[in-house]
Every structure is written in C-alpha cells, then in structure tokens.
Amino acid sequence: MLVSGQSITEFLSSVLPVPGNGRLERPLVTLTFAQSLDGKIAGKEGKQLILSGRESMLMTHWMRTKHDAILVGIGTALNDDPQLNSRHIPEDERPSHLPRPVILDANLRLRPDCKLLKNYREGKGRRPWVICDANLASDDGRKSTLEDAGARVIGVPSVDGFIMIPNLLKVLYNFGIKTLMVEGGATIIGSFLAESARTKPNIIIDTLIITIAPTLIGDDGVGYGGTLLAPQIPSLKHIQTEVMGRDVVVVSALE
C-alpha cells in the first residue's frame, strides 16, 4: 500500500513517460480521473463528487507537480471551481513547481471570479490559459473580461464550433507544454479516448491512470464512456495496479 510521499513519487516516476526528443510534436499526455465502482465521475448534472480518499488525492497532487500543465474542460471549471494546485502535499515536501492551469473553453464561459484567476491575482498560482475557438479570440467582450481578470486567452481553430484535440495539443506544445495532465470532465475524457482510437496508431494518450473508489453512485451519476461507440474505445495494456488507502489505482497504456 502506497501512503507516503516518497513511495507515491517513486510509483509515479515508474509509470509516467519521460519527455524525449520532441519527435511527437505534442505533449506527453496523462489522462487521469477518479471513478466510483459503477463508473461514475460526477453527481447529478455534473455536480462535483469527492471520490478519492486521502492517499489517492495526495497522489493526484503529486502527479500534478510532475506535469507542465493540467487541462480541464469548461464543465469541470464551472461545476467544481477547481484550483488545480498541489495544496494537499505537506508544505515541507511540496515542490516549487506549479503546473499551468489550462481550461478548454470554446465559447469563453469561464467566470472571471473563479478560484484559478483569484489565486493568480493573489500570487498563489500560475496564470491560467483559456483555450477558445479562434473565431472568438478577437472578441472585445468575453475575451477582454477574462484577460482583465488575469487569464491568457488562446484561440485554436475549430471545426463546426468544436476544438479538435490534435489542434489543441499542437498549440500547447508550441507554447512550451511538454507534459500534460488531463483531469476531465466527462466530455474531455470521452473526447481524448475517442480521438486516440480514431488516430491509431498515432495515439494521443500516453498513460491512463484511474482511481477507483469503493462506492456506488447510481443512475443519477455522470459517467464518461456512455457515448463512445465500440470503434472509439482504444485497446489498453495493463501497466501496474496499486492500493492507496481505501482506493485502487490502475495504470494502463494505450495499444
């Protein structure tokens, strides 16, 4: 059972990919999330659920420090108002590195009073990047409001209003992001899984780390794979399974 900071960091060092020579021209991607035994990651209408126990939550915060950036979708940003930092690591062990918060927000719906922007203004976090449809990048209203609140707004070309994952990864890589931790929510998780299957053998997820909590949510909960068709589900290769407190953490790679 992994419970100490040292054992957790050793575990992560053994399963996370190491940036190479840049031939991929995209960040190395870790897709990670917590789920219930019945595969739910959020409550009714996307309401936040605290699924991870203390030990696996600590692992998640250590994992954040090992990536250049953390990506969440706008649904998660609005429902959870996350901070995406490493506050659960004891202060005397906490690395100085803070990952860059990145919000995929095609229509610029992020609230200017969210915790990510508040933390940045107070010197407690890095400047969030908001990725939007390139057609909105010159908008004088929503864009300027978020920029005045501290965000950096980055436009990415879209297809029918949707930002394509390969385009997103290319832009992040060109801005210096070499390792990316994708935390959700359901739409983002499904998009990355479907895109990896679609672009096979050029997959876009390097490591999949799922925390499974010993709880059931039921029909009101939100899952992440219900809309994926069979051809959109990538094949997985088991790498390692660890017990962390009450939870089980499963690490896989895409084949």
Q: For residue 87, how far is the Cα from the chain centroid?
A: 17
pLDDT value at residue 21: 63
37: amino acid identity, one letter: L
Query: Which pLDDT tens digit goes with each residue over 10-55?
Result: 999 999 988 876 678 899 999 999 999 999 999 887 888 889 999 9
Report whether 125 contacts 83 (CB < 8 A). yes
Q: Is 224 left (phi over 0), alpha (psi -120 to 50) or beta?
A: alpha
**pLDDT (tens digit per residue) in 243-253:** 999 999 999 99
pLDDT of residue 3: 59
Is-cis flag, bond preceding 226, omega within 30?
A: no
pLDDT at 166: 92
Out of 75-89, 92-106, 158-172, 190-204, which region has the weakest mean confidence (pLDDT)?
Answer: 190-204
Residue 1 above 60 pLDDT? no
Quickly count helices (H) and strands (E) in the chain. Answer: 7, 11
The pTM for the full model equals: 0.93
Q: Which region among 27-31, 111-115, 128-132, 188-192 has the lowest average model confidence (pLDDT)?
A: 188-192
SS3 state of residue 193: helix
pLDDT digit string, tens, across residues 168-207? 999 999 999 999 999 989 999 989 988 887 777 778 999 9
Q: Tell me what the pLDDT averaged over the chain comes to.
A: 91
Q: How far apart are CA 142 and CA 136, in angstroms?
A: 8
Confidence at residue 249, expressed as pLDDT on a 0 to 100 scale: 97
Residues 6+ positions from 155 with CB-CB distance below 8 Å: 131, 132, 133, 134, 135, 136, 137, 138
At residue 223, does pLDDT exceed 80? yes
